[in-house]
Amino acid sequence: MMLIRRLTGVPERFRDRIQSPPFGFFATLYAFFLGFAIVTLWSNFVNVKFNVTWEAYSLLSSYRLSQSLPNSEKFRQELVTYVKTVLDKEWSSMEKGAMNEEANHLMESVWNRFQELKPADKQDNPIFVNIATTLNEARRQRLSRGLALSGNLYEPIWVIIIFGLFTTMFSLYFMHPEQNIIQIIFEFMVLFTLLACIYFITDLDTPFSGLVRVPADAFQDVYQSMLALR
């Protein structure tokens, strides 16, 4: 903005034509949308993190419950292989915005192994039902994890954010064409804060990539617990 002013200057007919009250109303309204986006995405980020933890420990519950059923070794091995695949392959794949096909096939294989556990003894039916519940919960949270990869902020909000950024720069350019050190510092503060907020929003929109992302700690803990229970 400083370079453009020096190279082109501000035409005299544009000087002092932008009044601060309308700009103040616009800035307040724009700040509301930025705050709305940040609060919405942060709430979604916390929910995604909770769902990942719930998914991982649902798998651990399935593993523990199956230990009391006969011939369940293959089922538990499939669970361990699935969790290991999520850690080694799917988490890095989610950083690129896609789920891992191998992990998806392994989840189906886990369900096939589970069907083989249907007990002949009716006393084991409650355990079988509980495993079905925890596995179904894990599948549901896995689906939720996949949906979170595609972005979590409505497109019209992005239009408002981008439009507001350029409008703010346009307004600052024409509001005070006579530059001084205080005005330069003021414009730097405004633009730095604005760009930082937009970057934070962009980063939060994809909870499995960027600087602020959901870690795989829950799956790592579950994997270690499964190995210890063998």
Higher pLDDT, 5 or 222: 222
Q: Residue 58: what pLDDT?
A: 94
Helical H segments across the chain, by residue range: 2-8, 20-66, 73-85, 91-95, 101-115, 125-147, 155-175, 181-205, 217-229
Q: 160 and 182 in contact (C-beta within 8 Å)?
A: no
Q: Which residues, 6+ apart, have CB-to-CB distance to 220 below 8 Å?
A: 87
Most confident region among 4-13, 21-30, 122-131, 194-203 by mean pLDDT = 194-203
Q: Is the pLDDT of residue 15 over 60?
A: no
pLDDT of residue 150: 77
Position with higher pLDDT, 153 vs 31: 31
CA distance 104 to 121: 31
Dihedral sign computed on CA atoms, order 209, 214, 218, 221: positive
Domain residue extents for the chain: 27-230
pLDDT of residue 18: 53
Q: Where residue 61 falls among pLDDT bands split at 50, 70, 90?
A: very high
- The phi and psi torsions of 106 (rounded to 5 degrees) equal -65, -35
Q: Is the pLDDT of residue 95 over 60?
A: yes
Residue 88: the pLDDT is 93
Which residues, in sequence order, are CB contacts of 150 under 8 Å at separation 6+?
A: 97
Q: In whole angstroms, what is the distance from residue 169 CA to residue 56 CA?
A: 46
Tell me the C-alpha distance between 140 and 174, whole Å: 53
160-211 pLDDT, tens per residue? 899 989 888 877 777 766 667 887 888 888 899 999 999 999 999 989 988 8
Contact 66, 131 (CB under 8 A): yes
pLDDT score recorded for residue 97:
85
Name the pLDDT band for 56 (thresholds 50, 70, 90): very high
